[in-house]
Copies of this chain bind each other. A is one copy, B any other.
Amino acid sequence: MSLTATLLAAAGGLTAVIHEGVVARGFDDLRPAHGFAFARLAPGGATAADLAEHLGVSRQAASQMVEELVGKGYVERRPHPDDARARLVVLTDRGWACTRAAEAAAADAVRPWAALLGERRLQALRDDLARLAPGGPIRPNW
């Protein structure tokens, strides 16, 4: 199988396993796409416009997602400290709990890889991939 196919298959499988792990930990009202949003919100919150750019969708779509996540209790809107037009979207306690669950699920998914490849090659894999994806937080993708 080609490199591109293996890479896409690995990423697709990883996405699925993480999502299953998140669901298994009780957060069953989320879709993989929400992981993107959490990744952007976690550091210190973001505006809906920030989120739209990060996710690659319209501001209206991002706003709708925020509304959905507010309704489900994962985020809340706070007044923006510097701009009265904007609203800062931040994770709630439940949002943080879900983020930790996702990290735990990701760790579970990766653990067997260490057994398959060994620590040395796994570390090399991590380093190599980091060099190939310099653009950074493009689109996490559960």
Contacts and interface: CB of A to CB of B under 8 A. Distances in A.
A84 interface: no
Interface in A84-142: 106, 109-110, 113, 116-117, 121-122, 124-126, 128-133, 135-141
Tell me if A's interface is mostly helix, strand, loop or mixed.
helix
Nearest to A141: B8
Residue of A18, A113, A128 ringed by the most chain B CB atoms within 10 A: A128
A128 B138 contact: no
A104 to B, nearest CB: 12
A15 interface: yes
Contact of A128 (B9, B117, B141): B117
A32 to B, nearest CB: 10
B138 A3 contact: no
